[in-house]
C-alpha cells in the first residue's frame, strides 16, 4: 500500500505545517508551500488515478490536470474542509469527466488497447488479478473500497466525497470486502469449519 | 447485518472496529467480544488478509516529466498572484455583472439577452481590470491633460466647468461660454439676431433641455411657470395637462426660451419642485445653415437671370409664359428655403425645454367588493379561455405534427439505442 495516509494537522508532527496551512500560504503566493504539498500528494494522487485508469500515461495526465486545477482554484480556496478531501474531490470530478468522454469516444472507435490487452495492465500477475477482481465489483462499492483501502479515507470523508450517509458507506464497504474476499479466495489460513462460520456470521 | 445472543456485535461493527471507526466505548465492547468469539476474530483476520492482499497492488513512481510540468505551472501561477491583482472597482463591477447574469439565467422571465449582455460587460471589465491597469492610469493622465487644454481658452466658472468636462460635448461647451468670448457662436446673437457673415466661422448651435420635476401643487406651479415664461420672454409651444382618476396630475410642455437666457430659465424652473431628471444637449446646425444659405443664393441668381430674360428678350407668347412659370417655380423654392432657414434660426435663437411637471401623489385605497367580484369573474373567464386555448393548441399540434414526430423518433430510436448500449458497456469497462 502507498503512503497515502496523509492526515490533517492533527496528525502532523509538531512544527510541521498542516496541508490546509500550506494551501492557504500557496493561495497567498508561496511557491514553497505548493512544493511541499506536491511532494506530499504527488504519489498518492497518481496512485488514485493509476488504480482507476488502465492507461498509465492517461493516469499521469489526469494527475497533472488535478494539480493544475488546484493551482488555478488556489485564490478561491477556503480551509473549511481537509485539503485531502478537497484534492480527492477534484480528482473524482476529473476522473468522472474522463470516463464520460472516454466512454463516448469508445461508442464510435471501440475501447483503447489498454482496456483490452492484459499485458498492458501491468507486469505483475497479482496486479492484474487484483485489478480484474476489483473491476468486477459494483461501481459504487468499488469506489468506496478503493478510497478506504488505498486513500485511507475515513467513512465520514468517503460519505462526503460520494454524497452518501456514513451508514451506507459502512454497509457497502462491508459488502465490497466480502465480495472481493470471495473473488480473491483470500490466502488467510482458515479451516473449512471456520470459513463456514464466517460466511454464516456474515 | 444481524446480531444474535451468541454474537451481540454486528459484523459491520467488527469491520468498523478493524478500521478504527468506533468510539472508545464501542471499541472496548467489540474487543471484549472478539476475545471470546473465534468466528468474529476470524472475520477480522479475513479483513486484515484482504488489506494485505491489496498492498501487492503497487503503483510506479511519478515521472519526472509530470513533476516538472506541475512545478513550472505553479511557479508561473505564484508569480502572477503576486503581480497581477485586479483593480478593485473594475473587479467588483465585473463580479457583480457576472453574478447578476448567473442569477438572471435562472429567471428566464427577465430574458436571456440581458444575461448575455451582463456576462459580456462583466468579462470586459474583468479583462480591463487585469490587463490594462497601467494603461488606465496613463489614460487618466492624458484625459486630465486634454481637459486642461480644452478649457484653457475660455476658463468657465468652476461648477460649470466640471459639468462641461464631464458631460457636455465641445460645441455645447463653447456655446455656453460665448457671451464672454470674442468669436460668438450664432445662438448667442440674441432674440431675432441674424446669422451674419462676421460669425461664419463660429458654430451655430441649437440647444435643447429636458426636465422632469415633482411639484407639491400643480396649479401653483402652472402659475409660476406662466410668470417665468413672461419674465424670460419665452412661450409655450405645446402644453398638455392630465388629471386622471387614481393617478397624479401632470403637465407636459414644450417651452421655447431665448437661447441666451436658457441657463437662467432652467434655474428658475428648478425652483418649482424636486428635480427628478435633467438632461441637456446641443446640436451643431452650422453645416445645415450654410447649405441653405448657398442654395438660396443660387436660387436668387437663377430668378434674377429669368427676370432679365423676360425683360430683354421678345418672342412667342408660349416662350414668355414658360419663362414666367420658371420664375414662379424658383420663387416658390426660394420662399420654402427661406422659411426653412427662419425655422432653423428660430431653433437656434430659442432653445427648447421639454418640461414635465408631476404632482406629488399619495395613493388612496379605493377598493370595493363590486370591483373585486368583477375582476375575479374576468380573471376566471380569461383563465378558462387560456386553458381551453392551450389544450386545443396542444391537440392541434399533435394532430398536425404527431405522425411526423413519431416517425422521426422511430427512425432515431435504433441508432440511439445502439449508441446508448455501447456507451453503457464502455462506461462499465473504463
CA distance B280 to B176: 12
The answer to whether ipTM exceeds 0.85 is no
For cell 486634454, what's the residue?
A: B146
Set of cell numbers at residue B148? 486642461
Q: What is the pLDDT of residue B182?
A: 39
B246 contacts chain A (CB < 8 A): no
Tell which A residues from 34 to 63 touch B, by Cβ distance under 8 Å. 34-35, 38, 42-43, 46-47, 50-51, 53-54, 56, 60, 63
> Is B11 in contact with A197 (Cβ distance < 8 A)?
no
Tell which B residues from 55 to 94 touch A, by Cβ distance under 8 Å. 55-63, 65-67, 69-71, 73-75, 77-78, 81-82
B4 contacts chain A (CB < 8 A): no
Q: What is the pLDDT of residue A201?
A: 54
CA distances from B276 to B279, B355, B417 (A): 11, 11, 64
- HEC profile of A107-118: HHHCCCHHHCCH
Contact B179, B187 (CB under 8 A): no
CA distance B233 to B210: 19
Set of cell numbers at residue A124? 505483475
Contact A155, A166 (CB under 8 A): yes
B163 contacts chain A (CB < 8 A): no
> Is B62 in contact with A104 (Cβ distance < 8 A)?
no
> Is A181 in contact with B422 (Cβ distance < 8 A)?
no
Q: What is the pLDDT of residue A124?
A: 60
Q: What is the pLDDT of residue A183?
A: 86
Q: Which of A29, A150, A188 sits opposite B45 (nearest CB)?
A: A188
Q: What is the pLDDT of residue B201?
A: 60
Three-state DSSP class for residue A124: coil
Phi-psi region of B417 (alpha: psi -120 to 50; beta: other; left: phi over 0): alpha
Instruction: Give average pLDDT by consecutive 10-residue segment, chain B, 430 residues.
Output: 67 90 89 86 88 84 84 77 55 64 55 67 66 42 39 37 39 38 41 45 85 91 91 90 83 92 90 90 88 92 88 80 90 93 90 91 72 88 96 96 95 92 81
Residues pairing with B209 in the sheet? B280, B353
Q: For A2-16, how does the pLDDT look when each residue is reduced to its tens digit (9 = 90+)? A: 444 444 433 444 347
**DSSP secondary structure letters along B303-320:** HHHHHHHHHH----HHHH
Contact B75, B115 (CB under 8 A): no
> Is B12 in contact with A171 (Cβ distance < 8 A)?
yes
Give me Rg for the CA atoms of chain B.
43
CA distance B85 to A159: 37
Beta-carbon contacts below 8 Å between A and B? 163
A97 contacts chain B (CB < 8 A): no
Nearest in space to A94 (alpha carbons), one of A112, A68, A76: A68
* Dihedral angle of Cα B98, B104, B110, B113, to the nearest 10 degrees: 40
Q: Which of B74, B419, B429 sits opposite A115 (nearest CB)?
A: B429
Residues pairing with B255 in the sheet? B236, B353
Q: What is the pLDDT of residue A62?
A: 94
CA distances from A184 to A47, B11, B224, B257, B377 (A): 21, 20, 100, 100, 75
Q: Which of A107, A127, A180 sits opposite B426 (nearest CB)?
A: A107
Q: What is the pLDDT of residue A5?
A: 41
> Is B39 in contact with A202 (Cβ distance < 8 A)?
no
Residue ranges in chain A modelled with pLDDT below 70: 1-15, 113-125, 185-202
A29 contacts chain B (CB < 8 A): yes
Q: For A119-160, how does the pLDDT look when each residue is reduced to its tens digit (9 = 90+)? A: 444 456 677 788 888 888 888 999 999 999 999 999 999 999
Q: Which of B49, B56, B423 sits opposite A107 (nearest CB)?
A: B423
Q: What is the pLDDT of residue B5?
A: 60
> Is B78 in contact with A31 (Cβ distance < 8 A)?
yes
Residue B133: other Cβ atoms inside 10 A: 14
Amino acid at each position: 500500500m502507498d503512503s497515502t495516509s496523509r492526515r490533517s494537522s492533527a496528525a502532523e508532527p509538531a512544527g510541521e505545517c498542516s496541508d490546509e496551512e500550506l494551501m492557504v500560504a500557496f493561495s497567498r503566493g508561496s511557491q514553497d508551500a505548493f512544493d511541499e504539498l506536491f511532494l506530499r500528494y504527488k504519489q498518492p494522487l497518481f496512485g488514485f488515478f493509476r488504480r482507476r485508469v488502465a492507461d498509465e500515461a492517461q493516469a499521469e495526465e489526469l494527475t497533472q490536470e488535478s494539480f493544475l486545477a488546484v493551482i488555478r482554484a488556489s485564490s478561491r480556496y477556503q480551509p473549511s474542509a481537509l485539503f485531502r478531501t478537497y484534492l480527492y474531490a477534484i480528482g473524482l470530478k476529473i476522473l468522472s469527466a474522463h470516463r464520460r468522454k472516454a466512454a463516448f469516444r469508445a461508442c464510435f472507435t471501440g475501447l483503447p488497447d489498454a482496456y483490452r490487452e492484459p499485458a498492458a495492465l501491468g507486469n505483475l500477475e497479482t496486479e492484474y488479478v487484483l485489478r480484474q477482481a476489483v473491476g468486477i465489483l459494483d461501481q459504487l462499492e468499488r469506489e468506496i473500497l478503493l478510497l478506504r483501502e488505498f486513500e485511507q479515507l475515513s467513512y465520514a470523508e468517503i460519505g462526503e466525497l460520494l454524497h452518501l450517509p456514513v451508514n451506507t458507506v459502512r454497509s457497502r464497504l462491508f459488502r465490497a470486502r466480502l465480495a472481493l474476499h470471495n473473488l480473491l479466495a483470500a490466502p488467510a489460513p482458515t479451516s473449512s469449519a471456520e470459513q463456514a462460520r464466517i460466511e454464516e456470521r456474515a | 447485518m444481524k446480531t444474535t445472543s451468541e454474537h451481540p456485535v454486528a459484523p459491520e461493527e467488527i469491520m468498523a472496529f478493524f478500521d478504527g471507526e468506533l468510539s472508545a466505548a464501542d471499541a472496548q465492547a467489540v474487543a471484549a467480544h472478539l476475545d471470546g468469539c473465534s468466528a468474529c476474530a476470524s472475520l477480522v483476520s479475513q479483513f486484515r488478509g484482504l488489506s494485505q492482499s491489496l498492498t501487492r497492488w503497487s503503483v510506479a513512481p511519478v515521472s519526472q516529466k509530470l513533476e516538472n510540468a506541475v512545478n513550472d505551472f505553479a511557479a508561473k501561477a505564484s508569480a502572477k498572484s503576486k503581480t497581477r491583482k485586479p483593480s478593485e472597482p473594475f473587479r467588483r463591477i465585473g463580479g457583480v455583472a457576472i453574478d447578476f447574469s448567473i442569477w438572471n439565467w435562472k429567471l428566464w422571465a427577465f430574458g436571456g439577452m440581458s444575461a448575455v449582455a451582463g456576462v459580456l460587460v462583466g468579462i470586459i471589465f474583468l479583462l480591463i481590470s487585469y490587463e490594462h491597469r497601467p494603461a488606465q492610469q496613463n489614460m487618466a493622465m492624458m484625459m486630465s491633460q486634454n481637459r486642461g487644454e480644452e478649457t484653457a481658452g475660455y476658463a468657465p466658472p468652476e461648477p460649470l466647468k466640471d459639468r462641461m468636462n464631464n458631460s457636455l460635448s465641445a460645441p455645447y461647451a463653447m456655446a455656453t461660454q460665448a457671451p464672454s468670448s470674442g468669436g460668438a457662436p450664432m445662438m448667442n446673437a440674441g432674440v431675432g439676431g441674424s446669422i451674419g457673415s462676421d460669425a461664419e466661422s463660429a458654430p451655430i448651435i441649437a440647444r435643447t433641455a429636458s426636465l422632469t420635476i415633482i411639484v407639491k401643487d400643480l396649479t401653483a406651479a402652472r402659475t409660476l411657470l406662466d410668470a417665468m415664461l413672461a419674465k424670460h420672454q419665452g412661450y409655450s409651444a405645446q402644453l398638455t395637462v392630465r388629471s386622471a382618476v387614481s393617478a397624479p396630475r401632470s403637465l407636459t410642455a414644450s417651452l421655447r426660451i431665448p437661447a441666451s437666457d436658457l441657463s437662467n430659465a432652467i434655474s428658475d424652473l428648478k425652483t418649482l419642485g424636486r428635480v427628478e431628471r435633467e438632461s441637456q444637449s446641443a446640436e451643431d446646425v452650422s453645416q445645415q445653415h450654410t447649405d441653405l444659405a448657398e442654395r438660396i443664393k443660387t436660387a436668387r441668381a437663377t430668378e434674377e437671370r429669368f427676370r432679365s430674360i423676360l425683360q430683354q428678350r421678345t418672342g412667342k407668347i408660349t416662350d414668355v409664359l414658360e419663362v414666367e412659370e420658371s420664375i414662379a417655380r424658383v420663387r416658390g423654392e426660394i420662399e420654402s428655403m427661406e422659411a426653412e432657414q427662419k425655422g432653423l434660426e428660430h431653433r437656434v435663437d430659442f432653445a427648447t425645454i421639454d418640461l414635465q411637471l408631476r404632482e406629488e401623489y399619495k395613493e388612496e385605497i379605493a377598493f370595493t367588493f363590486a370591483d373585486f367580484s368583477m375582476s375575479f369573474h374576468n380573471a376566471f373567464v380569461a383563465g378558462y379561455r387560456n386553458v381551453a386555448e392551450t389544450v386545443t393548441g396542444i391537440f392541434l399540434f399533435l394532430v398536425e405534427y404527431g405522425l411526423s414526430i413519431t416517425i422521426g423518433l422511430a427512425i432515431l430510436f435504433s441508432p440511439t439505442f445502439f449508441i446508448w448500449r455501447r456507451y453503457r458497456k464502455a462506461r462499465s469497462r473504463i
